[in-house]
Amino acid sequence: MKRYSAFAIAREAIRGHLGWERAWANPEPRERYDVIIVGAGGHGLATAYYLGKNHGITNVAVLEKGWLGGGNTGRNTTIIRSNYLQDPSAAIYEKARSLYETLSQDLNYNVMFSPRGVMMLAQTEHEVRGYKRTAHANALQGVSTEYIGPERVKELCPIIRIEGPRYPVLGALWQPRGGTARHDAVAWGLARACSDMGMHILQKCAVTGVRRAGDRVVGVETTRGPIGCDKLGVVVAGHSGVLADMAGFRLPIESVALQALVSEPIKPCMDVVVMANTVHGYMSQSDKGEMVIGGGADGYNNYTQRGSFHHIEETVRALIETFPMLSRLKMLRQWGGIVDMTGDRSPILSKTPVEGVFINCGWGTGGFKAIPGSGWAMAELMATGASPLADPFSLGRFREGRFIDESVAAGVAH
């Protein structure tokens, strides 16, 4: 694989851009692989990438029923932060955030990581106490955050309305090294690196069944024929329950839609990410000038990837109180993604009752920020059978009562 560089761009400009290679190969499936990963989104591709990079396992196939990165990876609002309260959460999200900082160099692909900072607004006295508690916990965890007052909030984000009317801004939890990245570029860069290691990325290859010999996995049935494997990783977000059912076990998750929208592009007016959990909306400005807006997940189980009017109304109505300028903008487009929710709103990275089958799911509304850390932990779990980052998130915690309750701790899990 040719390296991307300024010199390569100049050379290809002279040659009429005729020398560029395919970013990743489009091979035919082999009869058998050491590892099959189901799901060519960010988490699945990161798992494959770190299996090769960290553990030397490259006889790997990544299966995708649609197109690469066409699920939640390409349907989110790209927020990256690690200021979680619970120790296991902070550890895996901080690992991911730190990996994001050098991911472009590691992949030789610009993922457009922008450490612009993330503010989580405190708009009630309860949130003030909660965020101060989180700041103290983060200090013990080695995560760089601080609690700031309303004057500093206004300085960092001049377009914000501090005084109310219903929910005045009393302060914020501020993580300067949080930010955003280009979601498509993360998937494309990981796919390119996996392909360069000899892994197969098989698009339009839907899994229709899981083949077992007793209690052990031996392969999968797909729309492109049966494929054998020694280990199977299921990394399919909202469809995790469907794949688990094929393998013969159940998961404690439910699937709902999470919607987002963007405004028409405007001149730069906001260079931080702001999350307002009391009114439940969050916003940043993209490199193209669009205001990227999201809110809460739908209140009912569904598999839709379309938007709905009630979401626009509820989310924008809430944010206009804090950002009055939004009232004058037009919506450009809207979409939805299918997220998988656990009872404690924390992910599952675990072995399963079927030997050789591993599951990575339950990221809910906060999956994009975790992609490199999730892949690192899942690869370690699949390669060695254990991972310090993944072990607290095993399926056994639900049976043993070891919940990692970020929904209660943080009020939101985005």
Contact 392, 350 (CB under 8 A): no
What span, in angstroms and rounded, lies between the C-alpha atoms of 270 and 282? 12
pLDDT at 408: 53
What span, in angstroms and rounded, lies between the C-alpha atoms of 389 and 50? 14
| CA distance readout (Å), 390 to 106, 177, 339, 373, 374 | 22, 23, 20, 10, 8
Reference 308, options 327, 331, 336; nearest CA is: 336
Helices (H), 157-279: 183-196, 240-247
Q: Report the predicted TM-score, pTM, of the whole model to 2 decimal places.
A: 0.95
Q: Does domain 115-178+255-342 have CATH number 3.30.9.10?
A: yes
Over the stretch 138-156, which tens digit does the pLDDT of each residue have?
Answer: 999 999 999 999 999 999 9
Q: Locate the domains of the chain by residue range.
A: 27-78+183-252+344-410, 115-178+255-342
The beta-strand segments (E) located in 169-234 are 171-175, 179-180, 200-202, 207-213, 216-222, 227-234
Helix pair angle (87-107, 371-384), 10° resolution: 100
Over the stretch 304-352, which tens digit does the pLDDT of each residue have?
Answer: 888 888 888 888 888 888 899 999 999 999 999 999 999 899 999 999 9
pLDDT at 413: 45
| CA distance readout (Å), 179 to 127, 223, 358, 377 | 21, 39, 30, 22
Contact 348, 393 (CB under 8 A): yes
Tell me which CATH homologous superfamily contains domain 27-78+183-252+344-410: FAD/NAD(P)-binding domain (3.50.50.60)
What span, in angstroms and rounded, lies between the C-alpha atoms of 72 and 337? 5
| CA distance readout (Å), 224 to 69, 208, 219 | 20, 10, 13
- CA 288 to chain CA centroid, Å, is 21
Q: Which residues of the chain have pLDDT under 70?
A: 408-414
Residue 64 main-chain phi, psi, to 5 deg: -140, 125
Pairing of strands 118-122, 273-276: parallel
What span, in angstroms and rounded, lies between the C-alpha atoms of 75 and 69? 9
Reference 45, options 178, 196, 255; nearest CA is: 196
Which residue(s) pair with 217 in the sheet? 212
DSSP, residue by residue, 112-129: --B---EEEEE-SHHHHH
